[in-house]
Amino acid sequence: MTIAGRRSLFGCVVAGLTGGALLMPAGAGADQLIQIPTADRVSAPTGEYKRRADGKGEGYGTVFVPAGLSYELMLRYYDDLDGEHRIEGGGQLQVLPDGFVTPGIAIGMWDVTNSSPWGRRAFFVLTKSLTQGQFGMVPKPLERVQLTFGTGTGRLSGIFAGARFDLPHRLSLVAEYDTRRLNAGVWFSPIRPVTLKAELQNGNPFLGGELRARF
């Protein structure tokens, strides 16, 4: 498939998500932080695109689609990232959802064919969310804290970790260590189906957004 064809295909997928975006309920989970997975599972199709903001023309887009009660599929397009135009696919199985006491547990693999700039990455991940007042561990003004720990292969080999801090007015601060680099960002949801994102990925600025939809 040509580069133009890949962009067109990915654009059609994201455009399809737009059609039902305003029907998505609040509080949707996301199964990735910035670049590391979480044990959450998207409840409806979710699309995201991020573009490097310092003049270097590269970016990447991702689509997550739930499949059944516990599994989801992932498709990612690398738009001239590190000089590569590639598509990767994969998925993850949520073994245990995040409960009141127990963490969420998931296993999965991204880039099954090992064809992308980031390479094949299998992972095992734990995610735990704590809301304000729960066990007396989340002080005001924080509304929720989500912690993620995991290990895997390839780019996720070793121990990776991340945190998300939800503040009032639909503002979130996020940070992660993916065993090789530190990434951090600020997310803002002006309306519930949409999240705008400003991130530093390995010191490089990226801007983008996420759209959550339901058909």
CATH number at residue 150: 2.40.160.40
What integer best gives the mean pLDDT of the chain? 86
* Higher per-residue confidence, 110 vs 214: 110
Residue 176's Cβ-side half-sphere holds a number of Cα atoms within 13 Å equal to 30
12-26, 99-113, 155-169: the lowest-pLDDT one: 12-26
Position 192 confidence tier, pLDDT thresholds 50, 70, 90:
confident
H/E run at residue 10: helix 3-18
The average pLDDT across 83-111 equals 94
Task: With a cut of 80, say whether residue 18 has pLDDT above it.
Answer: no
Tell me the C-alpha to C-alpha distance, in Å, between residue 111 and each of 76, 102, 114, 139, 176.
9, 29, 5, 39, 20
Local structure of residue 134 (DSSP, 8 states): G
The model's pTM is 0.82
Position 30 confidence tier, pLDDT thresholds 50, 70, 90:
low
Task: With a cut of 60, say whether residue 9 has pLDDT above it.
Answer: no
Domain range enclosing 124:
3-212
CB atoms within 10 A of CB 26: 9
C-alpha 7/C-alpha 5 separation (Å) is 5
Task: With a cut of 60, say whether residue 28 has pLDDT above it.
Answer: no
7-11, 16-20, 151-155: the lowest-pLDDT one: 16-20
C-alpha 189/C-alpha 208 separation (Å) is 12
- Assess contact for 93 and 106: CB atoms under 8 A: yes
Q: What is the domain count for the chain?
A: 1
The average pLDDT across 9-15 equals 44
pLDDT > 90: what percent of the chain?
A: 70
pLDDT at 27: 38
C-alpha 160/C-alpha 177 separation (Å) is 6
* Higher per-residue confidence, 196 vs 138: 196
SS3 state at 12: helix
pLDDT at 135: 66
Annotate 148-175 with b (16+ C-beta within 10 A) or e (fewer).
bbbbbebbbeeebbbbbbbeeebebebb
Task: With a cut of 80, say whether residue 32 has pLDDT above it.
Answer: yes
pLDDT at 20: 36
